[in-house]
Structures are given as C-alpha cells and as structure tokens.
Amino acid sequence: MKKILLLFSPLFLLFFISCQKEKKVTSETEMAIKTKSWLQSIIARNEKPEIKNMIEQILTGIQTDGMADARVNDQEYLTVFSLSGDYKSTLKENKPHKTFLLILSDNNRKLISAKLGRFIPDKSSPDIPASSFIDFYNKQSPGYDGKYSFLSLTGRYLYDFTFEEGNRTQSGLVKGELPNNNGLRVETQTCTFWYLEITYFYSDGTRTTTRQYLGSYCYDDCIPESACPKVLDGGGGGGTNTGTSFTVPKQYTIVSGINNSWFVVSYEKIEGVRDPSKPFGGYLTTITHQTSNYYGVATYTWREVTNTTSITNGGLIANSETNGELTDVNYGTKIPGSGFKVWTFTQVAP
C-alpha cells in the first residue's frame, strides 16, 4: 500500500503546484525595514523585560539574505526570514534545527501577524531555504522531510507537522479547554486547561490520535497578549455577539490526475462573525462539510470515508480533512486518497 501512495502522492501535489503565485513580490530591503520597524513597535509598547528580550533576539537575528516572499492566497502574502544561529527560543530544542520568522501581510503589504517556524530535519541538514515554508502553505508539501513546528514570537508552541518521504505522517496541536461545571461550559473562568493532541497518519489512509495534558494557564500569566489563551483559544464564539454574521462556501481539491484530467473536490461551509472589537477583527464559528465529488474522465470512482473539520486558535483558523477511496473502473484496484486544507479568518471573512 505504501508503494501505491508514493506513486499517488505527486498527483496530489500537482494541484497545489499550479496554484503557486509569484515570488519575490517585494524587495528584501523593503520587507526587512517594515518587519524590523514592526518588531521595534512591539518592544516599545511592551513593559515586560522578558518580552522585550525575546523580541530583540528575533530583531537582531533576522537574515535578509535568502528571504522568501510570495502570495499565498488572494488576500495575503507570506514573507519568511531565517534567523541567525545565535537566536535561542524559550522553547528549548536539543536536536539540530533552524528557526525562521514568518510574516503575514495584506494586499497593501501591511503586516498582519507573525509567528516562528522551526525545522528539525529527519536525516538531512537543518539548513533549508526559507522558501520551504512558503511551499508548505502553497503546495502543502515543504520539500524536506522532518518536523515543522510553529511557535508564537515568545516561543510558545502552537502546532507542528511531520513529513516522511514527502508525505505527512504526524501532526500536533495544542488545544485549550475551559473548565466545566456539571457539564456546562463556564465562560467566566480566567484559566484554561491545555492539551497536546497528536495525530498519526498511516499509508493505508487510517489514523490515530493521542491526547496529553500539558497543564493549566491563566490569562494574567500569559505573555505576550497576542499569544494569550484569551485571544487564541477563548476569543471565538463566546460572549455577546456584537458583530455581523457571515457564511462563505469554500472548496479544495483532495486529489487530482495528471493535467487535472480528473480530480476530487471537497465542499465546505464556513460561518463567522465580523467584529471590530475583537483582536483580529472577528472570528470563525463553525465549518461544516457538505460533500465531496469526483469530476473528469471516467478513470476512477470515488467513495468518501471520513471527514474531519474544526475551528481552532480561538476562531482564527478553520480546518478540513477528507479521506476516501478511489476505485479503478477497469481493474477494480482501490487507492486511498486524502487531502487537507487550512483557512485563516482573513482568508475567509468577506
């Protein structure tokens, strides 16, 4: 089964390669100046010495040589800088690794948000190009085997993906839960219980998930504000709705044949709220899977097996993953097919 997947995987990547946008949309100097100015403003308005020190390390560690810059969707650009070897994250890692600064900006190149990306290689050198993280978003395949971890600017772990032989084999995600009172969600609590969920993906299309308790953290103890549970894990859906609701249809290609002679599409419905009072201008509330269909030449038939959708990071991210089975109409051969898609609030909100 694994050999089939290795042959099958490049077909899946063809769709994402065709969607890649232009690179080097702005100069290294221009983006470096904007990024450093933005980081300096964070330092200036923050009173905690430990946060200032963390951001200053990133600021001084930015390497403009080899910067990668590309459009990742119709509304956003992603700029990636590598950080010098002198940068030391608060989240320790003993294995050889390389850290990158990921900057998201809008169509006017106004900086929206930032996070750190860390690559821990499977066998090769950690010295990969910054463009690997753009390939991760544009093609869903970074091109280098290993673990790709994503952290807040202060080094707080957010999520990670592991790739082996070009295929995703594992993912990890930190989730926060408010305490329950007799089964009822208590919105007034100031502390959140945190769990690490690890999902393992197998070559036959199956997967398993484990859950590990990490501890509880209170909002007042969290640094910085942009990485607090209040924003990332409690900002969506709770409290009084003072914004404008919206519903947006979305779709993505699960798998496709050569030159898109055939393809399977998954259809989702995403709902959210536009609310200027929220830190990110609103939040997503639900994502609902509608169906998945096969189109094109009658080479295969498609049967959907599972679909998983979720809203994470306090309503800032919508996730969908669809798994199914292709059957060769001539020989009856069955081949598993799977695809996943991640949308941010700014990508979805009208």
74-87: average pLDDT: 86
**What is the tens place of the pLDDT at every residue in 245-291?**
999 999 999 988 887 788 999 999 999 988 876 656 788 889 999 99
- Out of 179, 201, 222, pick the residue that ends a domain: 222
- Give the whole-angstrom CA distance, residue 64 versus residue 49: 26
Do 256 and 163 reside in the same domain of the chain?
Answer: no
Within this chain, do residues 218 and 239 fall inside the same structural domain, yes or no?
no
Report d(CA 302, CA 283) in Å as an integer.
34
DSSP at 145: -
Same domain, residue pair 246 and 155: no
Number of domains in the chain: 2
Over 70: is that where the pLDDT of 234 sits? Answer: no
Question: In 3D, which of 250, 254, 230, 277 has the Cα closest to residue 347?
Answer: 250
- pLDDT band at residue 216 using 50, 70 and 90 as cut-offs: low
User: Of the candidates 251, 250, 253, which has an alpha carbon nearest to the alpha carbon of residue 337?
Assistant: 253
Say if residue 272 is in the same domain as residue 208: no
The pLDDT tens digits of the residues spanning 58-68 come to 999 999 888 99
pTM above 0.85, yes or no: no
Are 27 and 100 part of one and the same domain? yes
Same domain (yes/no): 187, 253: no
Check residue 188 and give its pLDDT. 40
Q: Is the pLDDT of residue 320 over 50?
A: yes
Among 43-52, 95-104, 211-220, 229-238, which range has the highest average pLDDT?
Answer: 95-104
Q: 166 and 9 in contact (C-beta within 8 Å)?
A: yes
Lowest mean pLDDT among 188-192, 250-254, 343-347: 188-192
222, 257, 279 - which closes a domain: 222
Residues 151 and 205 in one domain: yes
Pure H helices in the chain: 2-18, 28-44, 49-61, 131-139, 229-232, 345-348
Q: With bands split at pLDDT 50, 70 and 90, how would you rate the model's confidence at 7?
A: very low
Residue numbers of the domain that contains 122: 1-222
Specify whether 11 is located in the same domain as 69. Answer: yes
Q: Cα(57)–Cα(52) distance, rounded to whole angstroms?
A: 9
The verdict on residue 229 lying in a domain is: no
Q: Which two tokens stand for residue 238?
A: 């709770």
Confidence at 152, pLDDT banded by 50, 70, 90: confident
Q: What is the pLDDT of residue 94?
A: 74
Whether residue 191 is contained in a domain is answered as yes
Q: Tell me the pLDDT tens digit for each residue of 14-64.
A: 333 333 343 344 566 788 899 999 899 888 887 778 878 888 889 999 998
pLDDT, averaged across the chain: 76
Is residue 218 within 8 Å of 233, Cβ to Cβ? Answer: no
Whether residue 187 is found in the same domain as residue 80: yes
Do both 175 and 245 map to the same domain?
no
Most confident by average pLDDT, 230-234, 277-281, 337-341: 337-341
Residue 74, token pair as written in the block: 């119709």
Beta carbons of 292 and 254 less than 8 angstroms apart: yes
Does residue 24 belong to any structural domain of this protein? yes
Domain assignment of residue 331, yes or no: yes
Residue 81, pLDDT score = 94
**CB 253 within 8 Å of CB 337:** no
Choosing from 187, 222, 257, the residue where a domain stops is 222
User: What is the spatial distance between Cα 197 and Cα 199, in angstroms, rounded to a whole number?
Assistant: 7
d(CA 121, CA 142): 12
Show Cβ contacts of residue 9 under 8 Å, excluding neighbours closer than 6 positions. Answer: 166, 167
Average pLDDT (96-110) is 89
59 belongs to a structural domain: yes
Same structural domain, 62 and 109: yes
Asked whether residue 85 is domain-assigned, the answer is: yes
Residue 227 lies inside a defined structural domain of this protein? no
How many Å apart are CA 51 and CA 56, to the nearest integer?
8
Residue 51 belongs to a domain: yes
Residues 264 and 190 in one domain: no
